[in-house]
Structures are given as C-alpha cells and as structure tokens.
Amino acid sequence: MADSLVIVESPAKAKTIGKYLGSKYIVKASMGHVRDLPKSQIGVEVENDFNPKYITIRGKGSVLKELKDASKKVKKVYLAADPDREGEAIAWHLAHALDLDESQNLRVVFNEITKSAVKDAFKSPRKINMDLVNAQQARRILDRLVGYKISPLLWKKVKKGLSAGRVQSVAVKIILDRENEINDFIPEEYWTITAKLAIKNAAFEAKFLKLNGAKKELGNQQEVNEILSFIQDASFEVGEVKERERQRHPSAPFTTSSLQQEAARKLGFRAAKTMSVAQQLYEGVELGKEGTVGLITYMRTDSTRISETAQEEAKEYIAGKYGSDFVPESPRQYSKKKGANAQDAHEAIRPTSILREPESMKPFLSRDQLRLYKLIWERFVASQMASAVLDTLSVDIIAGPTVFRATGSKVRFPGFMKVYVEGNDDGTTEEEKFLPELHKGDVLTKQDIEPKQHFTQPPPRYTEARLVRTLEELGIGRPSTYAPTLETIQKRGYVAIEEKKFVPTELGELVIEQMEQFFPEILNVEFTANMEEDLDHVEEGSEDWVKVLAEFYESFEKRLEVAEEEMKEIEIEDEVSDEICEKCGKPLVYKLGRFGKFLACSGFPDCRNTKPIVKDIGVACPKCKEGHVVERRSKKGRVFYGCDRYPECDFVSWDKPSLKPCPNCSSLMVEKKSKRGIKLQCTACDHMEMVEEQDENED
C-alpha cells in the first residue's frame, strides 16, 4: 500500500512523476486551481482587510472529493504544483480544501521533471511559502477589483459585455498610442546614391557618404543632381582601407519573454501556443525505453542563470562535438535583468540534458514540440559557446570632391554561430558581404551610378513578439501574464490582428478614451510597473499585501465615484455595408471579431447569418479558370487562399498565389518567405526566384 499522496496540476505531470517515485506514492492531478473567487460577485470584503471569499470552482467538486478520499488513506500528502506564485497558491488552496496541517513540510518543488531532480526534491520538502501565496492573492484581488468595479460602468455607459483589466488596458493603450504615431507620421524624403564598381572583373557596391570631407545627407533631387555632376567625369580611386576584428557574442539562454519573441519570429508561433507546447515539453514526453522525461526546465522565468552542473555538461558536449576552440575561456554568466526579481529563483529555460539532441528526439515529438525543443536546445548550446570573430572591412573610395564607402565582413571563426543566431523583428539576418581585395590607390571601373529616392517610414505596428518585448521592458506584467494578456485583448474585441500585427478597434479606442479620462492610473505605465514591483516585494516578504491593496484602493474608490457621476453614455453604431443578407433580406453590417472584421446580419438576434469579408488578390483561379482567388481566414484566424466559387471549386492554398506565372512551365507560382526575403516558387516544377523589393516610396 502507498504511504504518500502527491498532488500536481496536470495528468501529464502526474504520469511522469508517478514513474519516478514508485509504488509507495500515489500521484494525482488537481487539474489546476480548485478554489477561486466567485464569478457571480466581487468576492472580496474590502472593509475587512480585503478578505477574499473563495469557493470551489464549478466542476471541481468531484476532483476534490477524489483527492480527499485519497488523502485519508495515506500517512503523508505532498503538494508538488509548479515552482512559482501560481503553483504556491494552488498548493495553499489544496491544503485548505483537504484540511492539511500547514505547519508541516508539505510543499515539494522542482525546476525540471527528471528522475534525479524529482527524487532530490522529495528529500527536502518545505512549508508553504505564504509570501508567495500573498503575492498571488494580492494580484488576483487587485485584478478582481479593477475588473469587477470598472466593467459594470462600461456595460452601462458604452456596451454590454465589456470589461476592463489592469494589465490588458495598458497593452491596448500601447497599441493605440502606436497607431496614433503612425497616423500622425509625416514622411520625409531622402536619397541614396549607389556606385556599382569593379576591379579585375570583381564587382561590388559603394554608397555616397561625404562631400568636401564632411558627411552629407541627401534630402532632394537637386542635391543629388549636384553630386552626380561632381562625379560624372571623375575617376573612382581607393582611399583609406580599414580592417578590424569584431567579436560577436551569443545571446543569453531563454527567459519566458525571449522564448515567446523568438518562437514568434522563427516559428511563427503565437505566445499562447509557445507556452502550451513548452508546458508539454516541461511536463514530460514518452521517450521509448527511457520512459517519460521532462525535456526542458520550468518555462516561466525571468532569469538567465544556469546551474553549474548544466554548464559543465554543456562544456564537455561542446568540446567533444565542435572542439576546444568553441569552448569559452570561462563559463558564461549572463547579467540579471533589473527589477526581474519576481521569477529569478528559477534557472533560464534550457534542455534538461544537452545530450538529448533534437535529431534523436524526432521519433518521440510532434512537429511543433520538435521545432520548439530544437530552438531551446540550440539557444542554450550557443549561449555556452565561444564568441564569433568577424573581419570587417571599410573602404573609402574617392571620386572628385566626394567619398563613397564600401563595407564588407567575413566570418573568421564562427564560434556560437555554428549552432544558432538570434532572429530580429524584421526577419532579416546578418549575411557575409565579401569585397574584392582592395589597396590604397587602386583605380576602379565605374559600371553604373544609381540614385534612389526613399521616404522615411512610420514606426511599425506591434507584432506579438514586439509587444511582449515592450511589456517586459516597461515592467508590465510577468512571465505568466504575457500570453493570456494578448489573448484577452483580442477576445474582447479591443484589438484585431491584421497581417500578424495588432490594430486597435473602434471599441478599443472608446474604452481607452473612457479609461484615460476617469482611471488614468490604470493606464499609466509607470504606475502599473510600480505595482508589479510592489507585488515582487510582497513575494520577498518586505511588503504587506493588505497595505499594497489599501494604498491602491484609496484613490481608485474616489475615481469610481466620479466616473459613476460623470461618464457619459456612448452609442456605438455598426457600419452598414452595401451587401444584403441572403437569408432575410436585411442589410449586412461590419462587426469586429478577434481575427478582424466580418459581416453579420443587422437583424440579429432574429437572423444570425454571418459571412467573412473576402479580399480578391487579383489572381484567376488556377484550377477552374472561372473564379478568382480570394483571401480567407480559417476558424483559428490563419490566412489562406481559395477560389471564390467554393464549394463548386475546391482550390485552396496556405501560400499566397502570385499574379506572375512560372517562366519555365506557365504554372502557378506562390509566395514563400525565406531568410533573404520573399521568393516565388512554382507549384509544378523546380523554378524559384526572389521577389524584387519595391522602392520604399512605391505603394
């Protein structure tokens, strides 16, 4: 008979841990939280030191009964929820619900689900950490007060079903501020002049840099013409040649935020998907004869710290696989982020064993699991490798009173770049740019001079990756809150996603307008960041959670009274389209869902007809030749392309069809993204070509 009951959150985690602990332990799952604040009321006694009134979550009664029955049959109960605030709170709620003695060492935590880590953790259980619990309670109550006090006001004054959230509202405000910046942006003209030059049949390019020894920006065609007149008959001769060595260092191992950003850039994952797949890798995957193993360390962390054991294992692996030159002189230490004390108890996200190479994991992982595991594995390995060494070359070329500059670089020693290079938000990568051998005094052949007009571009809209990075930099939210925040603002219709970028909706603008007027602190980035720090101080035990809530509520209550009196009612009218409902004959109106606009019948709720807004991309259907290819969205919001004669014609493509037919076989070509930009690929033969970039001033 088993001596002990172990309670974790999920069945997957229970299955993995159960295999490690053996027959003396029963391992069961609580399926997340078992108690929470009630949905039907605010559930917080403000006057009584913000005392929360917790109830059993609907549907969790049977789970609790099963856990209670099991707890009575054993000598000892261990609570092994995840190692963070949320996990600590789950453990505390379970202790209450099961009448466990909280003075006992009930709590077991591990940062990775491997046999040794789990067995070690059970050797040293501890008491439930009430500072962690109180930090979670304070956040939960804070969010409940904001949500349940402001939402009814918005229902009454703006639209039924609206709600306001503390961190979500700031995120929407950031998106809206960026949209306003874009709308207010005035493009400025500028020009570049590129000289296409050659020496001994080796061609290269140089850009105009100086006139009469001083750097010169070219603002209009008149200035360009002046430069062109100076160089028309001038010879191009090599002036100063500068060679220097540059070191490039690897990025730190992943934190929650950097993992979400890089998975968005390199894998196209939404933040919520990244966290869901990472959870699966953390909780355990069946590896054939090896059994179930957690493949990565805990995925909610602000820390870039790595254990000495993991560093030593990495050092041996890198030396064996790539050679001792690829091992840095001393183990790499990455600096802790300012203000990131919240989750610094954990290590960075890394593989639980560097010896489990992604290739060997292929038979056991789904496609998404493998891609994310490979990303985490490569980033960690690279983070422990020697820096890359690049030779950079800068050549000044003199033509009359002007100077042009050519730059080149080549990798002398790849170091960490042999394994992994961090992506960026523009999707571009740093490529080697070779220059021919050039010496001072060399006379060059002028092949062409290309002046080009450009216009400055507005700041870009936020992608999920950019928004996560911005929230992190501003100190808004914590690792566990990024993904749910981004999901919530879309579900509520405050923002939509267009071409993978966030766009504020009219509804989002209206809500933020009201919030700015009546609850400016909620939208104040500094105020929200300070509140996060206060919660961190509660976790450290240096701040009282009731005091933190009381200080917030004092001014919040006054704001509520003013808003109740002065907030005006707003009528939101639907925009009427020129299409008629085919079911009832009433006009269709534009509505906004989480994936952008769609058409719905104005006769709702009597008529519930809806239809997508299709965008004709100007390409004839390659299958039926009669229809046109239109852009559509799947139920999950993913863009795809299909014939507008569906269901008569079933042509469909995830890739955007091109107007240009294949020059080899005249078949359909589709757009594919590559590291160098967009390429066109034929669907019938092997032909492939890069898409020529449009000028920045072209539409």
Question: Is 652 within 8 Å of 670 (Cβ atoms)?
Answer: no
Strands 628-633 and 615-620: antiparallel
Longest dimension (CA), the chain: 97
Active site residue: 20, 54, 78, 298, which one? 298
Q: Are 21 and 28 in contact (CB under 8 A)?
A: no
**Which amino acid belongs to residue 665?**
C
Cβ(266)–Cβ(428) below 8 Å: no
Report the alpha-carbon distance of residue 569 to residue 589 in Å, rounded.
Answer: 22
SS (H, E, C) 205-269: EEEEEEECCEECCECCHHHHHHHHHHHCCCCEEEEEEEEEEEEECCCCCECHHHHHHHHHHHHCC
Identity at 100, one-letter amino acid code: L
Q: For residue 615, what are its two tokens?
A: 């965008």
Q: What is the dihedral of CA 621, 626, 630, 633, to 10 degrees?
A: -90
C-alpha closest to that of 279 among 87, 26, 535: 87
Phi and psi angles of residue 642, each rounded to the nearest 5 degrees, phi first: -150, 170
Is 641 catalytic? The answer is no
Other Cβ atoms less than 10 A from the Cβ of 645: the count is: 16
Radius of gyration of the chain (CA): 30
Instruction: Give the strand pairing for 76-79 and 610-612.
Output: unpaired
Q: CA–CA separation, 232 vs 85, rounded Å?
A: 70
Cα–Cα nearest to 49, from 680, 572, 548: 548
d(CA 568, CA 351): 55
What distances in angstroms separate CA 233 from CA 29, 204, 403, 525, 594, one per listed residue? 81, 20, 15, 58, 60
Nearest to 488, CA basis, from 11, 244, 202, 151: 151
List Cβ neighbours of 106 (8 Å cut-off, separation of 6 or more).
77, 78, 79, 91, 95, 100, 125, 127, 128
Q: How many CA atoms lie within 13 A of 454 on its CB side?
A: 15
- Classify 82 in phi/psi space as left (phi over 0), alpha (psi -120 to 50) or beta: beta
Residue for token digits 């709702």? Answer: 604
Amino acid at 115: K
Q: Are 401 and 209 in contact (CB under 8 A)?
A: no
Encoded amino acid at 440, one letter:
K
Question: Which residues are designated catalytic?
Answer: 298
